[in-house]
Structure 1
């Protein structure tokens, strides 16, 4: 599993995850994952969120896709994030390319 930044007992962030990380995420006690990275970012060389979501759900993890363009987080993104995280079982792990967008979204939603 990639290195995590724990923001509080209910939310941590991570850089981009891969399929191989999902069992470790589950074993670490997370119940949900939020993807904040658009599938098309960087030419789509990272795993598509649909594949990650399908595999995560097979492991019993909830998964939400809320793509945000780097440097363009707005109030609508924050409000949507707040709604999504309120409806997911915690603890939750958010990821994007480096984990920064997920961190900003979480902090602004508080």
Structure 2
């Protein structure tokens, strides 16, 4: 499974499957954040399916959906900041391609510095 390391505590990936959760845990991640709404593409795993697998593996899970093709809003950044504050790192975040998960990280992190 491929992922992109943004910094030592945060990495992003395209949509994951239930079967990949064990790889995520083995790579040392403690938490998973989904930035994808359910039903975005036919056949994508549901948030509930991924959440169940993540929690069964002993990791934390948060869902912070961001709509594809829409600008990241201050409310999106605030929800992501809260999710990052609620979980232990390192964090593995995913969406359809990994782009939303990468793009929301900076604004969310900036909220912690203000």
Which interval holds the TM-score relative to the shorter structure? over 0.9
Alignment correspondent of 1:41:
40
Task: Identify unmatched segments of 5+ residues in structure 2.
Answer: 110-114
Alignment correspondent of 2:57:
59
Is 1:94 the equivalent of 2:93? yes
Cα RMSD for the two superposed structures:
0.9
SS of alignment partner, residue 41 of structure 1? coil
For 1:41 and 1:84, the matched residues in 2 are separated by 21
Q: CA deviation at 1:107?
A: 1.6
For 1:57 and 1:109, the matched residues in 2 are separated by 24
TM-score, length of structure 1 as denominator length:
0.94
Q: CA offsets, 1:8-56, max 9 Å, x none?
A: 010000000001100000000000000001111024x210010110111
1:1-110 correspondence to structure 2 within 5 Å: 1=1, 3-43=2-42, 45-72=43-70, 73-110=72-109
Q: CA deviation at 1:108?
A: 1.7
* 4+ long deviations beyond 2 Å: none
For 1:35 and 1:54, the matched residues in 2 are separated by 13
SS of alignment partner, residue 69 of structure 2? coil
TM-score, length of structure 2 as denominator length:
0.91
User: How many residues get paired?
Assistant: 108
Task: Identify unmatched segments of 5+ residues in structure 1.
Answer: none
